[in-house]
Amino acid sequence: MARLIPFKVAVVSTVLFVVCTNIVCCNNGRKVGDVLDTEFSGFSVPLEHSFEVDDVAKFRVRGALVLKAGREPSVSLSQNQLSEEDRAKLKEVAAVDGLYRIRVPRVFLQADRQTERQMEGYLTAFVRACAMVESHLSDVITLHSDVSGYLIGVSIVTIPGACRGTEVEDEVDLEVFNTTLSVMAPVNAPGPETALFLERMEQESEKKGKNPQEQKSFFAKYWYLILGGAIFLMATNSAQPPAGGGREQS
Amino acid sequence: MNLSNLYGAAPLSHKTKNKPVNFRLPPCLEEQAKAAAAMAKLILLCLKCIILYSTVEAVFEDQVGKFDWRQQYVGKVRFSHFDTHLQSSKKVLLATENNVFAALNSRTGELLWRHVDKTGPEGNIDALLQHGQDAVLVVGNGRLLRSWETNVGGLNWEVVLDSGSFQSACLVGQQDTVKHVAVLKKSVISLHYLSNGHQKWIENLPESETVDYQGVYSGGNGEVYALGVVPHSHIAVVGYSLEDGEIIKQISAEAPWLSNIQASCVMISQGMLTCVDSATVSLYMLDLHVQSQMTQIPLQSLGFEVAPGFQPVLVSTQPNPARQPLSEFFLQLGPEHYLLLQLNNGQIVTLRDLKPAMLVSFATTGEKTVAAVMSPKNKTASTVNLYSAESGRRLLDTTLIFTMDPNGGKPEKLYVQAFLKKDDSVGYRVMVQTEDQTLTFIQQPGRVMWTREEALSDVVTMEMVDLPLTGTQAELEGEFGKKADGLMSMVLKRLSSQLILLQAWIAHLWKLFYDARKPRSQVKNDVTIENLSRDEFNLQKMMVMVTASGKLFGIDSKTGSILWRHYLDNVPSNAAFKLMVQRTTAHFPHPPQCTLLIKDKDTGLATLHVFNPIFGKKSHVTPPALPHPILQSLMLPLMDQDYAKVLLLVDDQYKVSAFPSTKNVLQQLQELASSIFFYLVDSSQGRLSGYRLRTDLSTELIWEVVIPTEVQTIISVKGKRPNEHVHSQGRVMGDRSVLYKYLNPNLLAVVTESTDLHQERSFVGILLIDGVTGRIIHEAVQRKARGPVHVVHSENWVVYEYWSTKSRRNEFSVIELYEGMELYNSTVFSSLDRPHAPQVLQQSYIFPSSISTLEATLTEKGITSRHLLIGLPSGGILSLPKMFLDPRRPEIVSEQSREENLIPYAPELLIRTEWFINYNQTVSRVRGIYTAPSGLESTCLVVAYGLDIYQTRVYPSKQFDVLKDDYDYMLISSVLFALFFATMISKRLAEVKLLNRAWR
């Protein structure tokens, strides 16, 4: 047996070698980089932000979103710290109740090539700068994609979301972003649940079938009531003719 | 009409159907039987649910027409004929552009019968020919030929014609009897029997590739002529034998000036084709019996002059299709200039020069043909006169005065009903059609017998406005409204208002006394604009309706009578309308104010029409000029010092203008600018973008969502109604905890449809977006679904209806949003501060019918449970309790769900007949439903509009705040009195007894 294994390894490796050479033959015209890109299928797009005292947007890079395409797209974010200057500016903007905006370029997550991924235009969202400051830069960014994998929207909220006017004393709190990031694809809306309903009906009827009491027909069960009612009706009818034309009370 | 008795019977059928099956079927059939049995059970379960949970609501028989009314319309008239085969006939036949064929009673203007065909080109009425009791219609670009019996409106016969685009049709007679109808199409001509529609013959037209056949003519001599033209070359006329369709004659005549026969040619006299050409200013004549060249008669040689830039028009008449047309005809030389001419032995003789004349029309009764001519009299009236067609003499005592409504349009068409009086002179009535689609029927000397506002067949948008207070109520209101200026004057004011009240009361008493002496039938309570006032529960309102033709109406919601009308004559044909109430009637003495935004869909340019919704008068407030295309308009809850809400208009430069734009408003806007957000939707690019107002009234882009148009297109964006109230913040669950609703007033429901329409890949997308922050709250796709999608968005739910391509059925889906077990911020809702996404629940149901429109009921305080009002294509309006569309309906019934009164889930929504709020009052082609709250919390006012208008009230939770009509006041008061006296007597007796005991 011990000898057999190396033999097997040899066979497997030769087979593999043959296959590999075949692949190489097939791939003659391809660039190596492309293959790598699809296999890892991660690509990065810039996440930009803007906060200005006069509220005229000037977007600068905040970090890089690394998107992984596929059936379940995932995303990760690497972002820089806020510089001293930016921190001061953010606090200033918060003081005048300005906006903190972010934007990401429109991308197509399912495409194979880099050139097909990027589309014209950006998706923008905003949050009040004071909320950003008061939450110590802890924000939740959600990227929304549509059915076919296009990014259609981005949203940002801070937790907590309110502006209470509390001073942020410590500059260190405004240094590092504490970001929760996710990609949301549309959920499938449910259709009418006929199958389950029918199954339940079936079960119910089975349950009833086990109970012999339920097997009896309506007349078999309530014959005495019906008979009594009929006699009563006959008795009342013969006693007095019905008052015709009387107005029905509601 | 109350069907509550039905429920007693329902369980009975349930039990009887549950018998076990004792025989075996083949496997496949058994499968089917199983499915059928399961389906039956499903239905039964639904029935059970209904019995257990639903409330009963329907109209009692004696309530029919008490709270509701319906008005039926036909639309803009295309063809009209008076039924003339009987002297005493009272019928007008109308074929309209809305594909409706109807008969009116000419005495009252009421509909005798009406047939509503398919919408669109399929049901388009191409021609209407009338002969005796039969009316022959060509429908759907020559697809169908139909004959109707005009007395009762029954269908005599219908035949499907060969394909080919319809050109013309005429009745064909021979020897004074009319037995055939000829239909001319692009390349064939066919002859059909009038009695049964069977085709007598069909012939291909010669050279139909080059010759454009446009007209068909028969002069009653056994020949049928197809008139064709090769544009700018020659006329080609083909004569067929009536008997076998054999070509008898083929005429070709040079006519390089002619391009359209129907516009410029008529037949007069004995087969004389007469055309008029504006370029050469001449008449051309061609005798079809004597093949020859066209003879040119320059109009100048006859001494006529055509108004510059005017295309002359010929009008002729053929009173009987079995005879030749008359030799008299009209020639229109200018907008208000007509000539009555006669062809006499090849010579044209002027019988009458009619100037000014707006409209002319021929009419025939018996052997006499007359010409009715409408000429302007002064600014508000015009006169109609009759002239003898043979001599051109004016007939004595035939003047009729037509008073034009200053708020209406100009007369457009004149239809004349002539009849012979006892002394053999000609009498007549006219029906005038004006630009605003009004039909007015007038009798001599100018008595309006009826008017029909056919513009109401195409209502685009509407609002309901509260009626103003009565004079006395207003006086009291005014007292509180004014600023106090000293004790003495206040006392005086109070005294004076009390005096006025006293005066009004005495007047009221006097009126009661006066009316009491009169017999009942004479006392009329006509609603006029003068005595309009709000009723106790604000159930009577003013319906302001905007129609596609640009005519505005004010209709009393209680009776349906039109109180005012106003025609806007500068409305473009493709206009979009938005009606807004800027000031309600609550701000006495300021008049209520409505603003109508009229936008040209192509250019985007808009105008504003500001008016008083109670009286319809144009307001003296001058609306701002809008030089730029308008992208968006929004009403702010802000008010200026005169209590008018501020309307913001965003133009294509993203600049905002305010109306009214007083200093006060601008100041308020500056203060609040940072909290005014709005959104724009560009469905062609799939772009939704949010903007914020700046203090200088410019805007800044703050968010953007782009839905790629390659995948899906935005169909509709629905926000919530601003006047909606939600009474309860949450729902109490079975375990007594509270599930709080997510009540975001800024939430938008965006509906998209996939561009790929393949049934496997098509989908409908629903996005819930916050309109302020652009945050996508929820995104769902309904796979294998297609539009048309109808959406209602209210409170914390969105209901939409779509077509499921997989199961081939209509389905409803409901999305409800909840915050969870605790509220984030219970005092105020701010879109900027709601970091947690709501919980989303969704459920779908099968609906057994397609729907035309969808709306939700609305009440004053939102306490009453909601119903969905569904307009069905069948003409019914269904009131479906929202309770059935609740995503929390449990699959498995538990103690808790029972506690909460949740109906167990059943995949099918049933249509129950008592849910139809319009019982048998079918509303044809319902396009929209408008709901408005009344002063009673239980009551919601509903108006459904389409071809018809139907108004009613609905009580979604029954009339919990109203005593019933037949409430027994007598019984309750007699019981009370009896009890009272019984206590008195027994008290007395007890006293006596006590006294007696004390003495003992």
Look at chain B and count its residues.
Answer: 1000
Q: What is the DSSP letter of B65?
A: T
pLDDT at residue number B53: 45
Q: Which two tokens stand for residue A76?
A: 């990760």
Q: Between residues A11 and B576, which one has the greater pLDDT?
A: B576
- Chosen from B775, B805, B894, B909 to mutate, greatest number of chain A CBs within 10 A: B775
Q: Which helix (H) or strand (E) holds A78?
A: strand A74-79
Single-letter residue type at B96: T
* Alpha-carbon gap, residue B120 to A178, rounded angstroms: 59
Distances (CA, A) of A157 to A141, B514, B647: 7, 72, 31
* Alpha-carbon gap, residue B649 to B656, rounded angstroms: 6
Asked if the Cβ–Cβ distance from B765 to A146 is below 8 Å, we say yes
Asked if the Cβ–Cβ distance from B779 to A157 is below 8 Å, we say no
pLDDT at residue number B923: 93
| Strand order across the B177-185 sheet | B166-174, B177-185, B188-193, B199-204
What is the tens place of the pLDDT at every residue in B627-645?
A: 899 998 989 888 888 889 9
What is the tens place of the pLDDT at every residue in B153-167?
A: 999 999 999 888 899
* Alpha-carbon gap, residue B527 to B559, rounded angstroms: 8
pLDDT at B112 over 90: yes
Averaged pLDDT, B190-198: 92
A196 lies within 8 A of chain B by CB: yes
A155, A190, A250 ranked by CB distance to B775: nearest: A155
The torsion angles phi and psi of B230, rounded to 5 degrees, stand at -100, 110
* Alpha-carbon gap, residue B56 to B48, rounded angstroms: 14
pLDDT at residue number A11: 44
Q: Which two tokens stand for residue B738?
A: 């509270």
Q: Which two tokens stand for residue B596?
A: 């109508």
pLDDT at B125 over 80: yes
Q: Which two tokens stand for residue A191?
A: 């259709």
* Alpha-carbon gap, residue B371 to B416, rounded angstroms: 9
pTM of the model: 0.83
pLDDT at residue number B528: 64
- Chosen from A201, A221, A222 to mutate, greatest number of chain B CBs within 10 A: A201
Asked if the Cβ–Cβ distance from A153 to B765 is below 8 Å, we say no
What is the tens place of the pLDDT at every residue in B892-901?
A: 888 888 888 8
Q: Are B862 and B856 in contact, with CB atoms under 8 Å apart?
A: no
pLDDT at residue number A75: 83
Measured between beta carbons, the chain A residues lying within 8 angstroms of B763 are: 147
Burial grade of B211 (CB within 10 A; 0-12, 13-18, 19 or more): buried
> SS3 string of B760-773?
CCCEEEEEEEECCC
Beta bridge partners of B582: none
Nearest to B45 by CA among B18, B6, B5, B8: B18
| Strand order across the B776-783 sheet | A187-188, B776-783, B763-770, B747-754, B712-718
The long-range contacts involving B9-15, CB below 8 angstroms and separated by at least 24 positions, are B10/B47, B10/B48, B10/B51, B11/B48, B11/B51, B12/A218, B13/B44, B14/B44, B14/B47, B14/B48, B15/A217, B15/A218
Averaged pLDDT, B679-688: 91
| Pairing assessment for the beta strands A187-188 and B776-783 based on DSSP bridges | parallel
* Alpha-carbon gap, residue B774 to B746, rounded angstroms: 10
Q: Which two tokens stand for residue B485?
A: 């200026």
Q: Are B100 and B42 in contact, with CB atoms under 8 Å apart?
A: no
The torsion angles phi and psi of B476, rounded to 5 degrees, stand at -65, -45
Q: Is the peptide bond before B312 cis (omega within 30 degrees of 0)?
A: no
A105 lies within 8 A of chain B by CB: no
Three-state DSSP at B941 gives strand
Asked if the Cβ–Cβ distance from A188 to B775 is below 8 Å, we say no
Place of tokens 């969105």: B798
Q: Are B930 and B462 in contact, with CB atoms under 8 Å apart?
A: yes
Average pLDDT of the residues of chain B: 86
Nearest to B284 by CA among B320, B257, B260: B257
Give the number of other Cβ atoms within 10 Å of residue B729's Cβ: 13
Question: In chain A, what is the straight-line distance between the N-terminal and C-terminal CA atoms, in Å?
Answer: 96
Averaged pLDDT, B716-720: 92
Nearest to B871 by CA among B928, B825, B793: B928
What is the tens place of the pLDDT at every residue in B852-873?
A: 999 999 999 999 999 999 999 9
A124, A127, A148 ranked by CB distance to B711: nearest: A148
What is the tens place of the pLDDT at every residue in B214-269?
A: 999 888 888 899 999 988 888 889 999 988 888 888 888 888 888 888 888 899 88
Q: Which residues of chain A have pLDDT under 70?
A: 1-41, 69-71, 111-116, 169-172, 211-216, 239-250
pLDDT at residue number B268: 87
Averaged pLDDT, B691-698: 89
- Chosen from B779, B841, B843, B893 to mutate, greatest number of chain A CBs within 10 A: B779
Nearest to A62 by CA among A51, A73, A53: A51
Give the number of other Cβ atoms within 10 Å of residue B633's Cβ: 18
Nearest to B311 by CA among B268, B272, B359, B263: B263
* Alpha-carbon gap, residue B332 to B342, rounded angstroms: 14
Single-letter residue type at B843: Q
Measured between beta carbons, the chain A residues lying within 8 angstroms of B708 are: 119, 146, 148, 150, 152
* Alpha-carbon gap, residue B143 to B49, rounded angstroms: 48
* Alpha-carbon gap, residue B115 to B75, rounded angstroms: 12
| Pairing assessment for the beta strands B730-732 and B738-741 based on DSSP bridges | antiparallel
| Strand order across the B212-217 sheet | B212-217, B223-230, B234-241, B247-254
Burial pattern B167-183, b for ≥16 Cβ within 10 A else e, equals bbbbbbbbeeebbbbbb
Measured between beta carbons, the chain A residues lying within 8 angstroms of B711 are: 146-148, 150
Q: Which two tokens stand for residue B602?
A: 């192509």
Beta bridge partners of B247: B240
The torsion angles phi and psi of B132, rounded to 5 degrees, stand at 60, -125
CA distance B819 to chain A (A): 15
Three-state DSSP at A21 gives helix
* Alpha-carbon gap, residue B852 to B850, rounded angstroms: 7
pLDDT at residue number B33: 45
Nearest to B70 by CA among B567, B563, B440, B555: B555
* Alpha-carbon gap, residue B594 to B614, rounded angstroms: 10
Q: What share of residues in chain B are helix, strand, coil (percent, to 5)?
A: 15, 45, 40
Look at chain A and count its residues.
Answer: 250
Distances (CA, A) of B58 to B55, B64, B893, B954: 10, 10, 29, 9
What is the tens place of the pLDDT at every residue in B72-103?
A: 999 999 999 988 777 677 889 999 999 999 99
Which of these ranges, A165-179, B339-353, B404-418, B523-537, has the smallest mean pLDDT? B523-537
Asked if the Cβ–Cβ distance from B702 to A153 is below 8 Å, we say no
CA distance B705 to chain A (A): 5
Averaged pLDDT, B804-812: 93
pLDDT at residue number B162: 87
By CA distance, what is B41's nearest residue in A?
A: A201
pLDDT at B567 over 60: yes
| Pairing assessment for the beta strands B111-116 and B199-204 based on DSSP bridges | unpaired
pLDDT at residue number B31: 46
What is the tens place of the pLDDT at every residue in B738-779?
A: 999 999 999 999 999 999 888 888 999 999 999 999 999 999
Three-state DSSP at B473 gives helix
Q: Which two tokens stand for residue A179?
A: 């970001």
Measured between beta carbons, the chain B residues lying within 8 angstroms of A200 are: 891-892
A153 lies within 8 A of chain B by CB: yes
pLDDT at B4 over 70: no
Distances (CA, A) of B508 to B474, B504, B528, B732: 17, 6, 18, 50
Asked if the Cβ–Cβ distance from B38 to A191 is below 8 Å, we say no
* Alpha-carbon gap, residue B236 to B121, rounded angstroms: 29
Q: Between residues B368 and B529, which one has the greater pLDDT?
A: B368
What is the tens place of the pLDDT at every residue in A57-86?
A: 889 888 888 887 666 777 888 888 888 888
Task: Please state whether B397 falls in left (phi above 0), alpha (psi between -120 and 50) or beta.
Answer: left
What is the tens place of the pLDDT at every residue in B578-591?
A: 999 999 888 877 88
Give the number of other Cβ atoms within 10 Å of residue B618's Cβ: 14
Q: Which two tokens stand for residue B244?
A: 């076998």
Q: Which two tokens stand for residue B736?
A: 């007594």
